[in-house]
Structure 1
Amino acid sequence: MSTQNGPNVCFNHKHSTECYDPSIYSTKISKSSEEEFFNSIKCQGIEELIDSLKMVHDFALYHTDLPLDATEKMALFNLKILWESMEKLVRC
């Protein structure tokens, strides 16, 4: 799939020939929205959220008989990226 900024990822069966273009995702997030997001994560408990993301990932990947297509695999990979990023926040 192409945009005005060039090719980017299209998460369907045709995405293998496309490039990732992060510039299309560089939307401006207001500082207050970002702070609100991090505050809500901290209030919930970052460690608990990390554990929950890992649990959902592992159940979906290892404890189901359902076949996983590229879309589901990408969703699981995104979960992994999210919890790993949250783990970096904990270390800081």
Structure 2
Amino acid sequence: MRNTNGQNVCLNDNLLKTVNDSVEPKVSTSLNSSEAEFLDYIKFHGISEFVKSLKMIHDFALYHTDLCFDKDEKSALYNLKILWEGMEQITKS
């Protein structure tokens, strides 16, 4: 599909990814009850504590082991990074 500005767009879950790899979140609907409960739980226990824990797990796995990482492990570590960066954005808003 082509945008009015000439860029191609492909859908990936809840994100639009353009040819130049910029990612734009789609407008989402309201949260369902389990999503809202999950976010309330995280906020109650402290987002900064979760961020700190995720970074610690990431760093231990990456820098303090002699294990070899293949594609799946690298992807899992990257997912942790995405998760803590998203949580940090919540604290900024």
Q: How is 1:1-92 mapped onto 2 (pairs within 5 angstroms)?
A: 21-22=12-13, 31-92=32-93
**What 5-or-longer segments of structure 1 have no aligned partner?**
1-18
**What 5-or-longer segments of structure 2 have no aligned partner?**
1-9, 15-28
* Count, aligned residues: 70
TM-score, normalization by structure 1: 0.68
Deviation of 1:34 (Å): 1.5
- Which portions of structure 1, spanning 4 or more consecutive aligned residues, are displaced by more than 4 angstroms? none
Q: Distance in 1 between matches of 2:73 and 2:89?
A: 25
What is the CA deviation profile of residues 22-74 of structure 1, one whole-angstrom value per residue up to 9, with x for unaligned ones?
26xxxx99521111011110111100000000000000001100100100000
Q: Which has the higher helix share?
A: 1
Q: Distance in 2 between matches of 1:72 and 1:57?
A: 11
TM-score, normalization by structure 2: 0.67
Q: Which has the higher strand share?
A: 2
Q: Distance in 2 between matches of 1:73 and 1:64?
A: 14
